Amino acid sequence: MIPQIFFATHNINGIRQDQSKLDRILSFSAEHNIDVLVLTETNLLASAKRFININTSKFGYISYWSEASDKIKGSGVGILIADHLAKYIHKVDVTSVPHYITKVSLCFKGCYLQIYGIYYPPSDRTTQQSILKYIKQEHLINKKHLYYHSVILGDFNSVIDSSLDKSRNSRFYKQLSSLINFLLNNLYIDTYRFLHPQIKAYTWCAHRHTHTIASRIDHIWVSDNWVNEIMFTSIENTDNVTGSDHHLVTCMLDTGDKIRNFNVASRRRRDKPRIVYDYKSATTYDWENYRDLSNTVFADDRLLLKSISKPIPTQQDVDFMWKSIVFNISETAKKTIPHKPIPYRRPRKPIKLLDIRPTGLLAKHESLRKIIRDIEFNPDSAYFSKMELIDFNRRLDDINTTIELSISYIDPADLSIWIPTGKHYLRLIKKIIKMETQKAKEEAVSR
């Protein structure tokens, strides 16, 4: 069951010289239950990938790396997938735009998830055009299928709104990059700005002698069919984790209605029982207790009161408030109103004869039936090898021992003579099976 997937991206500023940075970010990710982590600007050469993969497995991740160019500093992208999602990995692409894009496709029931890890260089025009061309091609493929869902995350080296995403003058584009323009024009969603439309927050900062320059250039974009499933997004300060001048960007997506193995039928088989309240039996005293306890619970919920007091709540605040209200009402009602749990699981079906047949006798019946069928197909002894005839008699001996019968052995000189004998004992075993089944049924009823 996969109710949600937690994504994160981080420009780690190289792990070739200090691989302990990778250990620290993996430990941080595992602690915060991050399912998909994209690391950009790894500067990781191909020769080191094998050792890196061994290291990531210790933290519960499987990794795929687009190695860095040995001539260019500031390249290399890795995607790390949590072990519980590894079995859904369908395709990996690290060669379409080498050094700058890693793609991993996850195949679920009802959902094909395309994950693109990107490092968009700030000044390499040729690579920028290659990345844009690749994303356009992928977009044309993905939009043909309603069940294709895309997540594009990494370091885009470009801001979207200079009034919100940039502090002081910086080297990054004053106008949108061609890649950002394409994403906006094709209705991709900047998840952080979608949930925090007016908040100024930055993912990169550089300290100068007299001031600090900062901008939001690390993004997580999703295709428009995720619009109702963006649950949470944040920018986490990781100065004490990797020492990078970039912060970690996170996004949680609800997959309850996307992945078909988390549908209503599955919930009915696996979820906790639902609660049904007996309002007819509730007394005036019960309702007074409910009112008093409700007043106390809501008055003591400081997080809810803090969210309500915000002058401009975000979508994330509204979701939290609603969940808190539902939880408080439900818990209060369970303590004061008469109720009973109703399990989703259907009652067990009554026992049928087929369910209690003796499996050991059935196996012997099937073994004898196959011997008769093979001999009837060609009763000529020359058709069978000596080892096959020995095996037939060995199986007959096993049947005799198990059921205490006396089936005669097969005479290689004339196989057709044995067939009526075999059919007689086949009918006899069938009668024994019926008798044993009836006996087992009577015992089940008496219990």
Domains of the chain, residue spans: 4-262, 272-342, 353-446
> Which of 420, 436, 418, 421 lies closest to 362 in space, CA to CA?
436
Tokens 């009973």 belong to 340
The per-residue pLDDT for range 209-263, each reduced to its tens digit, is 777 889 999 999 999 999 989 999 999 999 899 989 999 999 999 998 888 765 5
* Most confident region among 114-123, 366-375, 412-421 by mean pLDDT: 114-123
H or E element that contains 302 = helix 302-308
Q: Do β-strands 4-11 and 248-254 pair in parallel, antiparallel, or remain unpaired?
A: antiparallel
Residue 183 clears pLDDT 50, i.e. is over it: yes
Q: How far apart are CA 106 and CA 116, in angstroms?
A: 11
> Which pair of structure tokens corresponds to residue 151?
């997540």
With cut-offs at 50, 70 and 90, classify the pLDDT of residue 356.
low
Number of H helices, E strands in the chain: 14, 17
Lowest mean pLDDT among 43-52, 320-329, 381-390: 43-52
Q: Give the distance from CA 180 to its chain's centroid.
A: 28
H or E element that contains 298 = helix 284-300
With cut-offs at 50, 70 and 90, classify the pLDDT of residue 81.
very high
> Which of 23, 32, 83 lies closest to 52 in space, CA to CA?
23
Q: How far apart are CA 153 and CA 179, in angstroms?
A: 12
Residue 171 clears pLDDT 60, i.e. is over it: no
Lowest mean pLDDT among 35-49, 124-138, 306-320, 339-353: 339-353
Per-residue pLDDT averaged across 119-129, rounded? 92
The per-residue pLDDT for range 36-67, each reduced to its tens digit, is 999 999 888 776 666 676 678 888 999 999 88
Q: How far apart are CA 164 and CA 187, in angstroms?
A: 20
Residue 123 clears pLDDT 70, i.e. is over it: yes
CATH homologous superfamily of 4-262 equals Endonuclease/exonuclease/phosphatase (3.60.10.10)
Rounded CA Rg of the chain: 33
Contacts of residue 315, defined as CB under 8 A and 6 or more positions apart, other chains included, come to 194, 195
